[in-house]
Chains A and B, each alone.
Chain A
């Protein structure tokens, strides 16, 4: 999309050594370039290595082969500069902090003054304005995920990584959250990598969709999404949308 490459996953392979000493190749020869300000969605069956790719980009894992760079640098530089936002698959909220303190945590960790209006705004955006003073244990799974999205966004990061952020939501709330996420994203067009199981979600949000398959996983297909932004939820009922959804679904289950 944009000529400038922000995230470069350069022919990356990842081999885990399991406890019994055997080696497990999680992903093989994955080559992904994400432009600055681009929104890329990563689709794929469970266990194909989507979270592994995300963790490599977040500098939480070292690639066994190839190399990951962000703006030409080691990805750890980005987190060190507090410019990375991540929402993990399992929310990872701190149980002793209230919802609003969890969202404000990145400010404190970065040694910055907490912008309480920003925290409040984001909580409103993810529909949890009334739960600012609640504790994570008092929320449902889907609500916790939404808190972790707000936390990922709070510092206005330059790179946003979302690992199945809406996995625990019902279809209606999910569609609503997709619209909200698009709006937040459009505010600063942050470079985003979204892992999801939902073909519709990928199509609605992304500029480009990648399909990973196999074990070890690798990128099997790439699709540019042409819809103009801002996208109205009604595009999900257009014939083009359905045609693309069918194509992606087919790519996800090649044997069928």
Chain B
């Protein structure tokens, strides 16, 4: 009983902000007697989430798959190009400034162009996630490949290492912590941009679901979608942060 009490207190101490907002929201809807289309009650949102878990889950799974696929492809591409740039001073002189310039182009601005090129479907959504995840991987891996531990270059020369051995045993492992930063930075935007792209032109997924339910005045479902989306973003961020911490503990 006391164990439950302390745990409840710990929960309150941590999440009192969220609980407060929910209570205010519910109270405000009651007090003003707002129409459910304008502003649903938190209870309605929860009811929809609990009674129709299937539709939320299937769409969330679609969005997550798309985000994960795009993230993997984008990071693989960014890493590969960073390695390519690392092999030659000429290439890095061209690619790194280009990467920095393009990474500051807002992706939303690219959506119409890409959509016209690739069509208004899932391909474009994927392309956008790939682009979003590409730049951090490229920029951070580029930096990481050059951040070798002190004395390690001398060490590999003294032991007569071939360039290839030096690359796989020294250069690549040195880049891992920077690569993890890129992963942490890319994971939440990958989910977010997948949803934005779905919202704008998708035919499935959480972003599309949000747009449909809003258009159908199913405000409780639209809010439920937002809740699920937020939960997914927070989850991705937390997982990536945990992974980064574990790697840093090993690499320090």
Residues of A bordering B, CB below 8 Å: 55, 58-60, 79-82, 84, 86, 88, 90-92, 94-96, 105-106, 108-111, 135, 137
CB distance B158 to A111 under 8 Å?
Answer: no
A79 contacts which chain B residues (CB < 8 A)?
157-160
Contact B160 A81 (CB under 8 A): yes
Q: Smallest distance from the beta carbon of B157 to chain A beta carbons, Å?
A: 6
Q: List 7 A-B contacts (CB under 8 A).
A: A60-B158, A90-B151, A96-B173, A105-B159, A109-B159, A109-B165, A111-B162
Pick the contact of A95: B157, B159, B252 (CB < 8 A).
B252
Given contacts A108-B169, A111-B165, A135-B250, contact A95 B158 (CB under 8 A): no
Residues of A within 8 A of B155 (CB): 86, 88, 92
Interface-centre pick from B155, B156, B162, B251 (highest chain A CB count, 10 A): B155
Chain A residues with CB under 8 Å of B149's CB are 92, 94-95
Interface extent on B, as a size class? 20 to 34
Contact of B150 among A55, A81, A92, A96 (CB under 8 A): A92
Q: B173 contacts A92, CB within 8 Å?
A: no
| Chain B residues whose C-beta falls within 8 Å of the C-beta of A137 in the assembled complex | 252
B29 at the A interface (CB under 8 A): no
Among A55, A91, A106, the residue within 8 A (CB) of B159 is: A106
Which of B151, B152, B158, B250 contacts A58, CB < 8 Å? B158
By a CB distance below 8 angstroms, the chain B residues around A110 are 159-160
Q: Taking chain A's interface residues, is the majority helix, strand, or loop, or is none over half, making it mixed?
A: loop
A55 proximity list for chain B (CB < 8 A) = 154
Q: B173: which A residues are within 8 A, CB to CB? A: 94, 96
Chain B residues whose CB sits within 8 angstroms of the CB of A105 once the complex forms: 159, 169
Once bound together, how far apart are the Cα atoms of A184 and B247, in whole Å? 36
Question: Is the pair A59, B157 in contact by a Cβ cutoff of 8 Å?
Answer: yes
- Is B238 an interface position by the 8 A CB rule? no
Q: Are A96 and B158 in contact (CB under 8 A)?
A: no
A158 CB, nearest partner CB in chain B, Å: 12
Measured CB to CB, the closest approach of chain A to B5, in angstroms, equals 39
Interface string of B118-148 (1 = CB under 8 A from A): 0000000000000000000000000000000
Contact of B160 among A92, A94, A96, A109 (CB under 8 A): A109
**Other 15 A-B pairs with CB < 8 A, given A94-B170, A109-B162:** A79-B157, A82-B160, A84-B158, A84-B159, A86-B154, A86-B155, A91-B151, A92-B152, A94-B149, A96-B176, A96-B250, A108-B169, A109-B156, A109-B169, A110-B160
Q: A108-B165, A109-B169 are in contact. Are A86 and B158 (CB under 8 A)?
A: yes
In the complex, A221 Cα to B80 Cα: how many Å?
A: 56
Q: In the complex, which of the residues B157, B166, B176, B252 has the most CB atoms of chain A within 10 Å of its own CB atom?
A: B157
Per the bound structure, the CA–CA distance linking A3 and B155 in Å amounts to 31
Is B159 touching A92 in the complex (CB atoms < 8 A)?
A: no
CB of B49 to closest CB in A, whole Å: 43
Chain A residues lying within 8 Å of B158, measured Cβ to Cβ, are 58-60, 79, 84, 86
Residue B161, interface by CB 8 Å: yes
A-facing residues in B156-186 (Cβ within 8 Å): 156-162, 165-166, 169-170, 173, 176
Q: Which residue of A lies closest to B152 (CB)?
A: A92
